[in-house]
Chain A
């Protein structure tokens, strides 16, 4: 027993020692200094009876207090992230969010999204589209330098496009595919010759980072090549990486849009949510990059000093099913399910109000392309009427309807670690139960779920599921012109069509969309596509979760909420005057 007592004392002692740290006290000394000032003064005197005003030089000795200049502490911001982004260059970064956002702090794009999500001139000061849409001419800024001091020129842009076309990367190669050839005209003019009109190409230009030719030239295998540093033109330079612990980025003082608002960014990597939540509450970090879950919004908001920035976002929660399988191959069943789901209830119960009910036509109501004629209602009585009329009744009294002798009963997948979507699945299952459809909620692990719904991430490999929770991240919805990716029946065009949806008219309209440049035509086509989606139901869109981001406002308050995409973006760090 003696041993353990002694040990406990030692431990307590160590604890106290560790917890108390001597404070550093800064002492300021004010000095007094004498200065000699010579100045001209106007003096009025009476000379020989006359009032005379003349200029006279006067010398004075003055005592001045000199307050020593305290060097400004560099401002620093610690942000919590939840997964590694490897070496954070265009080929190694991992996630669409926040990886791509971090990437765009190091690199710039030809165009930059403004707070409304509209691409604006950035590295390209001007962009001109020819009449036939096949030639795009860019004037480039002449005051941009790479982090190592080399000047940014048109050669870099040409190199970037050609590099992405020849070195495979899921996102950049696809973005560069529409470009047939690139021409430079002097140092600051570059011309893209497109193979075909590519409407909405500005959005792709606003995503794609430009890389320096003098660094990337000759890099054969970008996935494994060890770069000395990530050289970009962006507002920040990655200066330190400790894998799975943190990244440090320092401000690029020569940034063309002005010195960034924060000198140093530290991205601290956490293994799970509880860690980052504990850390923000003690201000061990200043902001959490991941969206705050609904119950956390209230809890964090209640902590003095923490603000939560909220706004609608373009991410989606939806229900997918295999339309080639029973019973989803029956349109009446799909329509009945759509009518039976109370989206507002899901928003209130699962998201505590921090979400917007989904539109059955896919496009977000806040989008300029939204078709107001598309109606999304909750009407379980109408749902049941529909089913009764079609002869889909419960003949054996077990509460489950039958179609062609088979009961409407199937497996409904959800990811076990996604608490919110799992809860949504449970509620949806209850709602469907009320109209006589049995959806058995089955929680599975992420990779298993991906293999079931999107095997190999390749729609040509078919589908291994009946019904499942799903959702797309903001960029998919952000470009409404890409709706055809979700709907087209051919796997090459409809590479995001996970339900096997095939509708002739939808295919026709999709093909029109891929080449239509005229905004009026785009709007009309999209309007009809939304109507078809709401009627034929390739999927059931449940809701759009709001973005909610917690941060310490006393540490930094310059966050800008980009429409549909949240506060963690380049705009939040650029001086206000320079923001597009």
Chain B
């Protein structure tokens, strides 16, 4: 991959995108289960056969699969993401309303996890085999094994229910009509627990990668050379060791960014946060095909874009790979 031209690489990504979009279209339709409940709303059993046929026809579900596929591509290229059966809303509206919340959660937690993970990983490697290093290592491995929903529910039970410090659900206090600074504070209060949960769960991966990379870097010749040249420990740590360990870590972070779209579904469910992940989850349960498709498409594009980003960033972080 790295040995191909830029154009070649982009073409590869486009090809993957096309395959992903096609899979995206066919897979949900192969699931058992019928979207009729969503289309008709309540009491489907009370409709006559003609009525059911009419409803399915209106949603285009009675046409042959190939036709549906073709018109799906046509719509996509025109930017028409369709209409949600469940919400009776254009999907673009739905997604635009929810996307900012997911990005907010994922983005904040990624930044915080990066800071803490990199710092802790570097420190651990620097003070290898010390009590702190071993302690951190074991804590990180333990945290890494925690189920996200369990940690979320635990935090709610302790911080929200028992201590009453923070709200347990939602992005804002419902129908409170806060404006300006009050609203910012309200959103902030509601975001603390979900962001905390996500951050805590993301740190271990960053930490472990950083630590491992730093350890191998610290053992290399140029570090010995730098010390021999009289560089102070601080300079060795920051300018030489850490800087050269960044590449894999940044790669991981860039890839994680792609999962911001929908990867936060569990946290959003536990905290009833109105993000994209929850939208997807409910669409899958209710066989809301257009929303599922739009959502998976977004995730695909995001993951591919973040891969591309990581690919492009790498030469800057590790000049040894430049020009290949």
Query: Given A3-B115, A170-B44, A275-B272, are A447 and B192 neighbors across the interface (CB < 8 Å)?
Result: no
- Chain A positions within 8 Å of B285 at CB level: 445-447
B192 CB contacts on chain A under 8 angstroms: 14-15, 18
Q: Encode contact with A along B14-54: 1 for CB under 8 Å, 0 otherwise.
A: 00000000000000000111101100111111111101101
Q: How large is the interface on B (under 10, 10 to 19, 20 to 34, 35 or more residues)?
A: 35 or more
Do B45 and A278 touch (CB < 8 A)? no
Q: Which residues of A contact B167 (CB under 8 A)?
A: 284
B2 close to chain A: CB less than 8 A: no
A447 touches B34 (CB 8 A): yes
Given contacts A4-B120, A86-B88, A268-B170, whether A244 and B274 have CB atoms under 8 Å apart is: yes
A457 and B120 CA atoms in complex are apart in Å by: 56
Distance from A521 Cβ to chain B, minimum over Cβ atoms (Å)? 25
CB-CB under 8 A for A271 and B268, given A3-B119, A245-B274? yes
Which residue of B45, B83, B115 contacts A457 across the interface (Cβ within 8 Å)?
A: B45
**Chain A 246-273: CB-based contact to B (< 8 A → 1; otherwise 0):** 1010000000000000001010111110
By a CB distance below 8 angstroms, the chain A residues around B120 are 4
Asked whether, in the complex, the Cβ of A275 is within 8 Å of the Cβ of B47, the reply is no
Rounded to whole angstroms, the CA-CA distance of A169 and B39 in the bound complex is 11
The reply to whether A266 and B174 contact each other, CB–CB distance below 8 Å, is yes
A456 B89 Cβ-Cβ under 8 A: no
B169 A168 Cβ-Cβ under 8 A: no
Chain B residues near A264 (CB, 8 Å)?
A: 175
Type the 1/0 row for A98-113, where 1 means its CB is closer than 8 Å to any CB of B: 0110000000000000
Q: Which residues of B contact A451 (CB under 8 A)?
A: 32-34
At the interface, yes or no: B279 with Cβ under 8 Å from chain A?
yes
The residues of B that contact A269 with a CB separation of less than 8 Å are: 272
Question: Is B287 an interface position by the 8 A CB rule?
Answer: yes
- Which one, B154-162, B249-257, B293-301, B311-319, is touching chain A? B154-162
Q: Whole-angstrom distance from the CB of A290 to the nearest CB of chain B?
A: 14
Q: Are A447 and B31 in contact (CB under 8 A)?
A: yes
Output the least CB separation between B269 and chain A (Å). 4
With a CB–CB cut-off of 8 A, which chain B residues contact A456?
34, 36, 52
Q: A245-B170, A447-B33, A447-B34 are in contact. Are A272 and B160 (CB under 8 A)?
A: no
Q: Known: A451-B33, A456-B52, A460-B49. Is A284-B83 also a contact (CB below 8 A)? A: no
Q: Which residue of A lies closest to B124 (CB)?
A: A1
Taking A271-B268, A278-B157 as contacts, is the C-beta distance between A224 and B88 under 8 angstroms? yes
Interface size of A in residues (CB-CB distance below 8 Å): 68
Cβ contacts A3-34/B at 8 Å (1 or 0 each)? 11001000000110011000000000000000
A216 at the interface (CB under 8 A from B): no
Of all chain B residues, the one with the shortest Cβ separation from A491 is B49
* Cα A242 to Cα B173 with chains together (Å): 12
Task: For the complex formed, measure the closest distance between the CB of B71 and the CB atoms of chain A, giving whole angstroms.
Answer: 18
For A7, what are the chain B residues with a Cβ–Cβ distance below 8 Å? 112, 115-116
Query: CB of B168 within 8 A of chain A?
Result: yes
In whole angstroms, what is the CA distance A492 to B48 when docked? 8
B274-296 CB mask vs A (1 if < 8 Å, else 0) is 10001101100111000000000
Q: A362-385: which have CB < 8 Å to B?
A: none
Do B161 and A281 touch (CB < 8 A)?
yes
> Does A291 lie at the interface of the complex (its beta carbon under 8 Å from any beta carbon of B)?
no
Quick check: A84 and B86 within 8 Å, CB to CB? yes
A187 at interface, CB cutoff 8 A: no
Residues of A within 8 A of B272 (CB): 269-272, 275
A551 in the interface (beta carbon within 8 A)? no
Tell me whether B166 is interfacial, beta carbon within 8 Å.
Answer: yes
B87 proximal to A (CB < 8 A):
yes
Contact check, A168 vs B51: say whether CB atoms are below 8 A apart. Answer: yes
Q: Which of A84, A100, A246, A274 contacts B42 (CB 8 A)?
A: A100
Complex CA–CA separation, A314 to B123 (angstroms) = 64
B270 interfacial by beta-carbon distance below 8 Å: yes
Q: How far is A62 from B320 in the complex, measured between Cα atoms in Å?
A: 97
Which residues of B have CB within 8 Å of A18? Answer: 166, 185, 188-189, 192
Tell whether A279 pairs with B169 under 8 Å between CB atoms, given A3-B119, A18-B189, A451-B33. yes
**Given A7-B115, A86-B88, A246-B175, A275-B270 contact (CB < 8 Å):** yes
Residues of B within 8 A of A495 (CB): 45-46
Cα of A169 to Cα of B41 in the assembled complex, Å: 9
A454 at the interface (CB under 8 A from B): yes
Decide yes or no whether A150 CB sits under 8 A from chain B.
no
Considering only residues 414-451 of chain A, those with a C-beta below 8 Å from chain B are 445-448, 450-451
B189 touches A92 (CB 8 A): no
Pick the contact of B169 from A169, A275, A454, A458 — CB < 8 Å?
A275
Minimum distance in angstroms from A268 CB to a CB of chain B: 5
Assess whether A173 is interfacial by the CB under 8 Å rule: yes
Q: Once the chains are docked, how many angstroms separate the CA of A94 from the CA of B48?
A: 19
Q: Determine if A129 is an interface residue (Cβ-Cβ < 8 Å).
A: no
Cα(A184)–Cα(B171), bound, Å? 51
Other-chain contact of B45, A93, A268, A454 (Cβ < 8 Å): A454
- Could you give, for residues 113-128 of chain B, a 1 whenever the CB lies within 8 Å of some chain A CB and a 0 otherwise? 0011001100100000
A152→B271 CA distance, assembly (Å)? 43
CB of A278, distance to nearest CB on chain B (Å): 4
Contacting B49 at CB < 8 Å: which of A271, A458, A496?
A: A458
Is B115 in contact with A171, judged by CB distance below 8 angstroms? no
Instruction: List CB contacts (< 8 Å) of B128-147 with chain A.
Output: none
Whether a CB of chain B sits under 8 angstroms from the CB of A282 is: yes
**Do B174 and A78 touch (CB < 8 A)?**
yes
Q: Are A282 and B34 in contact (CB under 8 A)?
A: no
- Complex alpha-carbon distance, A492 and B49, angstroms: 9
- Inter-subunit contact B33/A246 (CB<8 Å): no
Q: B187 CB to closest chain A CB, in angstroms?
A: 11
Question: In the complex, what residues of B have CB within 8 A of residue A173's CB?
Answer: 51
CB of B165 within 8 Å of the partner chain: yes
Once the chains are docked, how many angstroms separate the CA of A451 from the CA of B269? 26
A16's nearest neighbour on chain B, judged by CB, is: B165
Whether A202 is near chain B, meaning CB under 8 Å from some CB there, is: no
Q: B151 at the A/B interface (Cβ < 8 Å)?
A: no
| Extra inter-chain contacts (13) besides given A447-B32, A450-B33, CB under 8 Å | A3-B115, A92-B41, A94-B42, A171-B43, A245-B174, A246-B174, A268-B174, A271-B278, A278-B156, A278-B157, A452-B32, A457-B40, A457-B45
Q: Which 9 A-B pairs have the closest CB atoms?
A: A447-B33, A457-B44, A246-B174, A278-B168, A271-B269, A170-B43, A275-B272, A271-B272, A3-B119
A-B CB contact pairs (8 Å), 13 listed = A3-B115, A18-B188, A168-B47, A170-B44, A245-B171, A275-B169, A275-B271, A282-B161, A446-B285, A447-B33, A451-B32, A456-B34, A492-B48
